[in-house]
Amino acid sequence: MTEPVRVLSVAPSPAFWVATVAYAAASVLLFIVLAGHKKLRPAALVLVGIACAAHATDIGWRGVEHVHPAESVREALGFLSFILTGGYLVATTRYRLTLGGVVVMPVALVLLLLARLTPAGAEPESLSSLGRIHIVLATIGVGIFALASALSAIYLAEDRALKNKKFDGAVFKDGGAPIEALDRISHRLIWVGFPIFTVALVLGAIWVSRLGQSIGRIEYALAAVTWVAFATLLVARQIYGWRGRRAARLTLSGFTGALVVLVIYLIRRIAGG
């Protein structure tokens, strides 16, 4: 017997198109700034601000249309993209993170496009409050991990430039945040994101068991691996003082796991699985 379904999609709002154009333009402009045209930096940040505001408007508009960020993995991806941009914008008030922008803006754009332009597929009617809380918490947790990962990526680039004395490279010229601060802030973000992600994982397990699905799926296993990676990082840092490159690489590995989980979810939803 076919399960009753509802299609969770509304047409992209005008704000979405504004956000898309602003994200793309900001990505290009930040790249030009990194290449040496530093005078364009304020213009690039204005574009990031426009993208962020348009993105927020789009999320609000979808909310009015009863499509909330917790409605599906697809919507959660859009929300994740928004968290990334917002976090980047906040960080730029303190540090010159052009390199971070070159990494974050295209990722945010891709996530937004995946969230809005991929086929909506069908979502089972049985999306309970538990499921919604799970999606919201998981999205926030992964969003925070994404910010920590962006900082870790910048850390690795700056560490490499400092160790190899690449003084004429774009990373060194950019003069971004000091690497000690990058390491510290990334660690703090993981401390904040980890409990949220843990609760999301537990609620997800309960939700899945209530739905009667098997917990042997690859995405569940990968989510568990992600959790283990971040747990290891926190414990190793606390007990053995792990930091620097090792911590940055582990953060990036953990986030990659979380991202793969999201992509698998998305593909399953598109396929109607």
Partner 1 sequence: MSELFVVGLSWRTAKVDVREKLAFREDELADVLRALTSSLPVAEALLISTCNRVEVYGVGKPGEDPTTVVRAFLCEQKKVKPRDVAEALYDRRGPAAIRHVFSVASSLDSLVVGEAQILGQLKAAYSVAGTAGTNGPVLSRALERAFGVAKRVRTETPIARGSANVSSVAVELAARVFGNLDGKNVLVIGAGKMSTLAARHLYSEGAHKIVVTNRSPEKAAALAAEIEGVAKPFDDLEALLTEADVVISSTGAREPILTRPLFKKVTKARRWKPMIVIDIAVPRDADPAINDLEGVYLYDIDALDKVVQANLAERAKAAEQAGKIVEHEAVQFEQWLRTQGVVPTIRALREHFAHVADAEVGKALDQLGKKDLTRDQQRELLQRTVQLVVNKLLHAPTTALRGAQPDEATVRAAIVCELFGLEPSEETTDPVAEPAGSEQAAERKAQA
Check binding of 6 to partner 1 (CB under 8 A). no
Q: How far is the CB of 164 from partner 1 (least distance, A)?
A: 9
Check binding of 123 to partner 1 (CB under 8 A). no
CB 115 within 8 A of CB 81: yes
Integer Cα distance of 197 and 261 in angstroms: 13
Task: Identify the bridge partners of residue 200 per DSSP, sorted by sequence position.
Answer: none
Check binding of 243 to partner 1 (CB under 8 A). yes
Check binding of 180 to partner 1 (CB under 8 A). yes
Integer Cα distance of 260 and 255 in angstroms: 9
Residue appearing with tokens 């999201």: 262
Q: How far is the CB of 181 from partner 1 (least distance, A)?
A: 6
Token pair in block for residue 52: 């962020």
Check binding of 245 to partner 1 (CB under 8 A). yes
Give Cα 120 to chain centroid, integer Å.
20
Nearer to partner 1, 39 or 66 (CB): 39
Q: What contacts 237, CB < 8 A, 6 or more positions away? A: 187, 243, 247
Q: For residue 105, which of 48, 38, 167 has the smallest C-alpha distance?
A: 48
Q: How far is the CB of 244 from partner 1 (least distance, A)?
A: 5
Check binding of 167 to partner 1 (CB under 8 A). yes
Query: What element of type H or E holds 6?
Result: strand 5-7
Q: How far is the CB of 243 from partner 1 (least distance, A)?
A: 5
Angle between helices 179-211 and 129-164 (to 10 degrees): 150
Check binding of 162 to partner 1 (CB under 8 A). yes
Check binding of 221 to partner 1 (CB under 8 A). no
Give me the sign of the Cα torsion angle 188, 231, 249, 220: negative
Angle between helices 129-164 and 73-92 (to 10 degrees): 40
Q: How far is the CB of 27 from partner 1 (least distance, A)?
A: 24
Integer Cα distance of 118 and 266 in angstroms: 9
Q: Where are the beta strands (DSSP E) in 49-148?
A: 122-124
Nearer to partner 1, 182 or 261 (CB): 182
Q: How far is the CB of 195 from partner 1 (least distance, A)?
A: 24
Nearer to partner 1, 68 or 173 (CB): 173
Check binding of 240 to partner 1 (CB under 8 A). yes
Q: Can you tell me which of 198, 199, 244, 256 binds partner 1, judged by CB under 8 A? A: 244
Check binding of 249 to partner 1 (CB under 8 A). no
Q: How far is the CB of 101 from partner 1 (least distance, A)?
A: 19
Contact residues toward partner 1 (CB under 8 A) are 38, 158, 162-163, 165, 167-168, 172-173, 175, 177-181, 183, 240-246
